[in-house]
């Protein structure tokens, strides 16, 4: 068994004439915390979409846990443990947190066992929901309507709904975007204390946050792999400063 969980060999995604992702290599080890950084339009979200199967790579190969998943549909990859956060737009605002958790868990169960809406949680499902809410630090909010949650709590619920599906690879696309400084601290703590057997790939613009969370950083630019390194080396990498940190400073 290789220690690499996710491997991309020269993955490309083309939209018409645009190479949104252009021959990107990536190897993420089991249990690793990896950041993908790069300016807007660098291809980060498209890379995630290629990994989850939402878009089909136009070239290259994606291997998960030693298995070629390049041509698998999204639900098959999800069943293997490739998971991205639910989006707030997928939450049900007039249902409670617990009911939303039920939908997340039963959604998976219905794929696995072909029964749906069969009543109360089993004790295993109940434990899974509580564990996921605990990891996401909204355990006391289970009976609150989603529309009464703060924005930050809704992001925490997204995380809980994803964790309840037992992910092996968790893809987080800008989990702290739009959050207040105090909400960012909570999200960072949640990510930092996730079980070490969950492999995490994180897209995030907040450099301080990123560098405090991950083991290794990959930087994309214009769809291409630009550089990678340990967090301590990223700030001083002149290629990255030129395309990313430099640009971010000008915008600040």
* φ, ψ dihedrals at 239, nearest 5°: -60, -45
* φ, ψ dihedrals at 224, nearest 5°: -110, 150
Closest listed residue to residue 176, CA positions, set 137, 149, 207: 207
Question: At its nearest, how many Å lie between Mg ion and the CB of residue 48?
Answer: 8
- 45 vs 100 by CB, closer to ligand ADP: 45
Q: Is 99 left (phi over 0), alpha (psi -120 to 50) or beta?
A: alpha
Question: At its nearest, how many Å lie between ligand ADP and the CB of residue 44?
Answer: 3
- 41 vs 81 by CB, closer to ligand ADP: 41
> Between 5 and 34, how does the x/- string for binding to ligand ADP read (CB under 6 A)?
----------x--x-x--------------
- 23 vs 41 by CB, closer to ligand ADP: 41
- Lateral strand order in the sheet of 59-64: 18-29, 4-15, 59-64, 67-68
119, 127, 131, 141, 149 from 145: Cα distances, Å? 20, 21, 19, 9, 7
Q: Taking CB within 5 to 8 Å according to partner kind, which of ligand ADP, Mg ion, none is near residue 20?
A: ligand ADP
- The first and second tokens of residue 83, run together, are 């998971």
CB-based closest residue to Mg ion: 45
> Between 34 and 53, how does the x/- string for binding to Mg ion read (CB under 5 A)?
----------xx--------
Query: How far is 24 from 154, CA to CA, in rounded Å?
Result: 32
Question: At its nearest, how many Å lie between ligand ADP and the CB of residue 227?
Answer: 15
Interactions with ligand ADP, residue window 45-74 (CB under 6 A): 45-46
- Residue 43 binds ligand ADP (CB under 6 A): yes
Question: At its nearest, how many Å lie between Mg ion and the CB of residue 201?
Answer: 13
Interactions with Mg ion, residue window 82-111 (CB under 5 A): none
Give, in degrees to the nearest 5, the angle at Cα 190 between 64 and 243. Answer: 65
Interactions with ligand ADP, residue window 96-115 (CB under 6 A): none
- Which residues are 6's β-sheet partners? 28, 64
Question: At its nearest, how many Å lie between ligand ADP and the CB of residue 19?
Answer: 9
- H or E element in which residue 123 lies: helix 123-135
Contact footprint for ligand ADP (CB under 6 A): 15, 18, 20, 38, 40-46
């Amino acid at each position: 068994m290789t220690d690499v969980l996710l491997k991309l060999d020269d993955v490309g995604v083309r939209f018409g004439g645009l190479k949104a992702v252009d021959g990107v290599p990536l190897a993420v080890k089991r249990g690793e915390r990896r950041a993908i950084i790069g300016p807007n339009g660098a291809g980060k979200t498209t890379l995630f979409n290629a990994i989850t199967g939402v878009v089909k790579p136009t070239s290259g190969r994606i291997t998960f846990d030693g298995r070629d998943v390049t041509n698998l549909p999204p639900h098959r990859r999800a069943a293997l443990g490739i998971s991205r956060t639910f989006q707030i737009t997928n939450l049900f605002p007039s249902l409670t947190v617990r009911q939303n958790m039920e939908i997340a868990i039963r959604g998976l169960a219905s794929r696995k066992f072909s029964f749906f809406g069969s009543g109360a949680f089993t004790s295993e499902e109940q434990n899974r929901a509580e564990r996921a809410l605990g990891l996401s630090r909204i355990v006391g909010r289970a009976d609150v309507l989603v529309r009464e949650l703060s924005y930050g709590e809704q992001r925490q619920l997204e995380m809980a709904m994803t964790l309840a599906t037992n992910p092996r690879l968790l893809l987080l696309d800008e989990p702290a975007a739009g959050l207040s400084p105090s909400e960012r601290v909570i999200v960072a703590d949640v990510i930092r204390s996730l079980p070490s057997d969950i492999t995490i790939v994180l897209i995030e613009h907040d450099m301080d946050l990123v560098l405090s969370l991950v083991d290794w950083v990959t930087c994309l630019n214009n769809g291409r792999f630009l550089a990678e390194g340990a967090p301590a080396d990223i700030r001083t990498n002149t290629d990255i400063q030129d395309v990313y940190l430099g640009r971010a400073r000008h915008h600040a």
